């Protein structure tokens, strides 16, 4: 009884203290929460900077226009310092390399025989045969489309035994059709592709076995996107490997289709200009009529002396723009893609991607945020602040990563390890064994 009374008194005392503290305790909790929030925010910022992602989130706090001039890489950012903060451009290099090795051992692709017919056997043979001169400057933008076929036919993936193949390649070229006297219009291309698919379906048993889900075709000409639209199974099941990989487009299905690196032909590797020899902040040259975003860019930045922005061609050699600038813009034109991304990568100029809905090639292997800056089209007016807010250390790391990833943005007639051909084929390998949609 006594003890119970004591306990009661004790708790009553505590209760009195609690009554007394209660108003303060709310304040205390608020203070602690604000402290924790601030701490988390600072840590997150460090994290973002260290990892080079979402640079645009720091725009607000950065200084105004008066601080913009010095753009040389400051001294003190030594090679050793870069190495110590090195961030890989890969999501998971080891996992990728192991899968790649397995692919090299196992992957088999069957090519429909049209790719091997003699060049005089039909007026359509040029549509299926490998191009005899892919380095022809007129093909520049469509180089990747032709190089894929040439590299594939010269690779060890091709099998003569279709029943052992993981994939079936339909070797028509949209780019050749586009210039073919008998096929060139958009609607004739659709009919031709639908007709060819029906022929494959009736002459070989492999299409019906998968509903076309293990069949693929490759193109860099954006008109190819509509090519499948007259064939239900081709559109819904087959894999289109395309330079115009925009997930805004109804006819591109991101998890099924594959983005193809668009590469301008070059005969030899560029020697990289070091960061401190780059005295311009930004370079861009291209037709501004092609998009609103480009007109917006010109309007906003044509007067700024740290920007080299040209409507049409530059007043100096194109290559020089990539050599003397720290950042090179890839800004959407008619389509999300241009060869400027790989131009920038090959010249060690950090690409700035201003192209909403671009399903970036190789994004499941490469972490683009570690070697490029991605800017929303509506933030063009903040471009300078965004770029100047990238810490020098992050910039140097991105520059270094360009030297690592550039081998993925090059094509060779005899394919080399980890080149554009192998990286693209790896995207197929990744999709092996998928089942067709049934409807
Ligand atoms: C940076 O420092 C090195 C010596 O540490 C010096 O040789 C070089 O000229 C400096 N560069 C600039 C741009 O100040
Ligand atoms: C067809 O191939 C032959 C031999 O391969 C070549 O000499 C000829 O130029 C080719 N013709 C065309 C129109 O490509
Ligand atoms: C086509 O070319 C092959 C050799 O490349 C030749 O044997 C054949 O006679 C040619 N056919 C025609 C119709 O010209
Ligand atoms: C595949 O299926 C279609 C439609 O059912 C049919 O017309 C075609 O003959 C089939 N192909 C083969 C090789 O049996
Ligand atoms: C650029 O300069 C022109 C004339 O020198 C001027 O009319 C225009 O408003 C300027 N544009 C910007 C965005 O400052």
- Give the residue, out of 162, 163, 197, 201, with the most ligand 4 atoms within 8 A of its beta carbon, to mutate for a pocket test: 201
Of 70, 72, 73, 75, the one to substitute when testing ligand 1's pocket (max ligand atoms within 8 A of C-beta) is 75
Residues 196 and 304 in one domain: no
Burial of 226 (0-12, 13-18, 19+ CB in 10 A): middle
In the chain, the number of structural domains is: 2
* Closest residue CA from atom 12 of ligand 4: 202
Same domain, 72 and 185: no
What does the pLDDT look like over 25-35, one tens digit per residue?
Answer: 778 888 889 98
DSSP classification of residue 334: S
Span 146-167, pLDDT tens digits = 999 999 999 999 999 999 999 9
Confidence band for 71, pLDDT divided at 50, 70 and 90:
very low
Q: Are residues 229 and 290 in the same domain?
A: no
- Structure token digits, residue 371: 């070697």
pLDDT at position 9 is 62
Ligand 2 centroid to Cα of residue 117, in Å, is 12
Same domain, 124 and 248: yes
CA-276 nearest atom, ligand 1: 13
Is residue 120 situated within a structural domain?
yes
Poorest-pLDDT segment among 49-53, 214-218, 261-265, 409-413: 49-53
**How many Cβ atoms are within 10 Å of 170's Cβ, its own excluded?**
21
How many C-alpha atoms does 185 have within 13 Å on its Cβ side? Answer: 3
Selected residue with higher pLDDT from 432 and 48: 432
Q: Which atom of ligand 4 is nearest to the CA of 205?
A: 13
The predicted structure's pLDDT at residue 55: 37
Question: 321 and 226 share a domain?
Answer: no
Residue 359 located in a structural domain: yes
The residue among 418, 427, 412, 428 whose CA lies nearest residue 146 is 412
Pocket of ligand 5 (CB under 6 A): 300, 303
Same domain membership, residue 184 and residue 257: yes
User: Going by CA atoms, what residue is nearest to atom 11 of ligand 3?
Assistant: 120
Average pLDDT score over residue span 57-75:
39
Residue 209 has a pLDDT of: 92
Same domain, 363 and 426: no
Query: By percentage, how much of the chain surpasses pLDDT 70?
Result: 84
C-alpha span between 244 and 197 (Å, rounded): 22
What pLDDT, on the 0 to 100 scale, is given for residue 365? 96
Q: Give the list of residues 6+ apart from residue 181 with CB closer than 8 angstroms, or none.
A: none
In angstroms, what is the span from residue 298 Cα to ligand 5's centroid?
10
What digits encode the pLDDT tens for the residues 309-365? Answer: 999 899 999 999 999 999 999 999 888 999 999 999 999 999 999 999 999 999 999
In a domain, 271, yes or no: yes
Spacing, Cα 343 to ligand 5 middle (Å): 30
What is the tens place of the pLDDT at every residue in 418-432?
Answer: 999 999 999 999 998
Ligand 1 centroid to Cα of residue 321, in Å, is: 25
pLDDT at 64 over 60: no
Q: Whose CA is nearest to atom 3 of ligand 5?
A: 303
Q: Model confidence at 56, in pLDDT bands (50, 70, 90)?
A: very low
Whether residue 171 has pLDDT greater than 80: yes
Sorted by sequence, the CB contacts under 8 Å of residue 11 that are 6+ apart come out as none
Query: Could you tell me the distance, in angstroms and rounded to a whole number, from the CA of residue 344 to the centre of ligand 5?
Result: 28
Q: How would DSSP label each residue in 37-91?
A: HHHHHHHHHHHHHHHT--GGGGTTTS--GGG----SPPTT--HHHHHHT---SBS
Atom of ligand 4 nearest to the CA of 201: 11
Residue 58 lies in a domain: no
Do 80 and 227 belong to one domain? no
Residue at 186 is within a domain? yes
Measured between alpha carbons, how far is 364 from 131 in angstroms, rounded to an integer? 30
Please say if the pLDDT value at position 277 is more than 90: no
**Predicted confidence band at 49 (pLDDT cuts at 50, 70, 90)?**
very low
What confidence tens digit (pLDDT) does each residue in 95-152 have? 999 999 999 999 999 999 999 999 888 999 999 999 999 998 888 899 999 999 999 9
- Tell me what pLDDT residue 53 has: 39
Q: Which pLDDT score, from 0 to 100, does residue 36 have?
A: 87
Predicted pLDDT at 94: 93
Model pLDDT, residue 392: 85
Q: Are residues 419 and 370 in the same domain?
A: no
Q: Does pLDDT of 12 surpass 80?
A: no
> How much is the pLDDT for 67?
35
Mean pLDDT of 6-16: 61
Domain annotation covers residue 51: no
Alpha carbon nearest to ligand 3 atom 10, residue: 120
The pLDDT value recorded for residue 269 is 87
Closest-lying ligand to the alpha carbon of 131? Answer: 2
Give the mean pLDDT of 80-93: 76
- Give one word for 61, left, alpha or beta, with left for phi > 0 and alpha for psi -120 to 50: alpha
Angle at which helices 2-51 and 392-405 pack, to 10 degrees? Answer: 60
Q: Whose CA is nearest to atom 9 of ligand 3?
A: 120
DSSP H helices in 315-435: 318-324, 340-346, 383-388, 392-405, 420-430
Q: What CATH number did the domain enclosing 382 receive?
A: 3.40.50.2000
Q: Is a pLDDT exceeding 70 seen at residue 65? A: no
Mean pLDDT of the chain: 86
Span 267-293, average pLDDT: 89
pLDDT of residue 70: 42
What is the structure's pLDDT at 140? 87
Range of the domain at 343: 65-89+266-409
Report the side by side order of strands in the sheet with 167-169: 109-111, 167-169, 215-219, 239-242, 258-259
The residues pairing with 325 across neighbouring beta strands, listed in sequence order, are 280
User: Dihedral, CA atoms, 402, 407, 410, 411, nearest 10 degrees?
Assistant: -170
Give, for 175, the enclosing helix (H) or strand (E): helix 174-178
Question: Mean pLDDT over residues 282-310, rounded?
Answer: 92
Q: Answer yes or no: are the C-beta atoms of 131 and 220 closer than 8 Å.
A: no
- Distance in Å, CA 120 to ligand 3 centroid: 6
User: What is the distance between the alpha carbons of residues 216 and 428, in angstroms, rounded to a whole number?
Assistant: 9
Q: Choose the residue to mutate in 301, 303, 306 for probing ligand 5, maximizing ligand atoms within 8 Å of C-beta.
A: 303
Residue 187 within a domain: yes
CB of 303 closer than 6 angstroms to any ligand 1 atom: no
The pLDDT value recorded for residue 84 is 57
Which two tokens mark 30? 């608020």
Helix extents (H) in 350-391: 383-388
| Location of structure tokens 């809905």 | 357
Query: Residue 43 pLDDT > 70, yes or no?
Result: no
- Whether pLDDT at 168 is above 50: yes
The minimum-distance atom of ligand 3 relative to the CA of 120 is 1
The reported pLDDT for the residue numbered 410 is 95
Residue 382 scores a pLDDT above 80: yes
pLDDT at residue 411, rounded to an integer: 94
115 and 257, same domain (yes or no): yes
- Could you read off the pLDDT of 192-219 as tens digits, one per residue? 999 999 999 999 999 999 999 999 999 9
How far is 56 from 37, CA to CA, in rounded Å? 21
Are 160 and 299 in a shared domain? no
Tokens of residue 375, six digits? 């800017």
What's the order of all strands across the beta sheet hosting 280-286?
A: 307-311, 280-286, 325-331, 350-354, 373-374
Residue 137 sits in the same domain as residue 164: yes
């Amino acid at each position: 009884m006594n003890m119970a009374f004591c306990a009661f008194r004790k708790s009553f005392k505590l209760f009195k203290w609690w009554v007394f503290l209660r108003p303060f305790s709310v304040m205390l909790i608020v203070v602690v929460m604000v402290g924790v929030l601030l701490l988390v925010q600072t840590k997150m910022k460090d994290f973002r900077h260290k990892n080079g992602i979402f640079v645009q989130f720091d725009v607000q706090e950065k200084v105004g226009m008066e601080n913009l001039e010095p753009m040389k890489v400051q001294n003190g950012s030594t090679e050793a310092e870069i190495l110590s903060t090195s961030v890989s451009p890969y999501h998971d290099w080891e996992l990728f390399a192991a899968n790649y090795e397995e692919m090299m051992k196992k992957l088999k692709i069957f090519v429909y025989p049209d790719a091997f017919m003699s060049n005089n056997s039909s007026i359509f043979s040029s549509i299926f045969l490998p191009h005899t001169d892919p380095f022809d400057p007129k093909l520049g933008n469509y180089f990747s489309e032709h190089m894929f076929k040439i590299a594939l036919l010269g690779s060890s993936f091709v099998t003569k035994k279709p029943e052992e193949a993981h994939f079936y390649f339909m070797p028509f070229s949209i780019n050749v059709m586009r210039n073919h006297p008998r096929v060139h219009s958009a609607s004739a291309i659709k009919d031709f592709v639908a007709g060819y698919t029906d022929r494959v379906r009736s002459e070989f048993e492999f299409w019906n076995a998968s509903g076309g889900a293990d069949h693929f075709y490759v193109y860099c000409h954006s008109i190819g996107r509509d090519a499948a639209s007259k064939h239900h199974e081709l559109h819904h099941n087959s894999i289109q490997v395309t330079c115009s990989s925009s997930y805004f487009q109804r006819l591109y299905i991101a998890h099924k289709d594959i983005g193809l690196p668009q590469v301008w032909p070059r005969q030899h590797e560029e020697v990289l200009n070091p960061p401190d020899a780059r005295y311009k902040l930004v370079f861009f040259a291209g037709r501004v009529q092609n998009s609103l975003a480009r007109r917006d860019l010109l309007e906003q930045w044509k007067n700024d002396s740290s920007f080299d922005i040209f409507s049409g061609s530059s007043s100096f050699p194109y290559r020089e723009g990539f050599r003397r600038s720290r950042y090179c813009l890839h800004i959407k034109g008619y389509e999300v893609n241009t060869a400027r991304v790989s131009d920038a990568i090959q010249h060690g100029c950090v690409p700035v991607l201003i192209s909403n809905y671009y399903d970036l090639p190789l994004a499941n292997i490469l972490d683009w945020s570690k070697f490029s800056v991605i800017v929303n089209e509506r933030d063009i007016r903040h471009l300078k602040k965004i770029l100047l807010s990238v810490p020098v250390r992050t910039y140097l790391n991105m520059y270094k990563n360009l030297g690592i990833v550039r081998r993925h943005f090059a094509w060779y007639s005899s394919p080399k390890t980890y080149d554009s051909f192998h990286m693209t084929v790896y995207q197929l390998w990744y999709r092996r064994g998928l089942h067709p949609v049934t409807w």
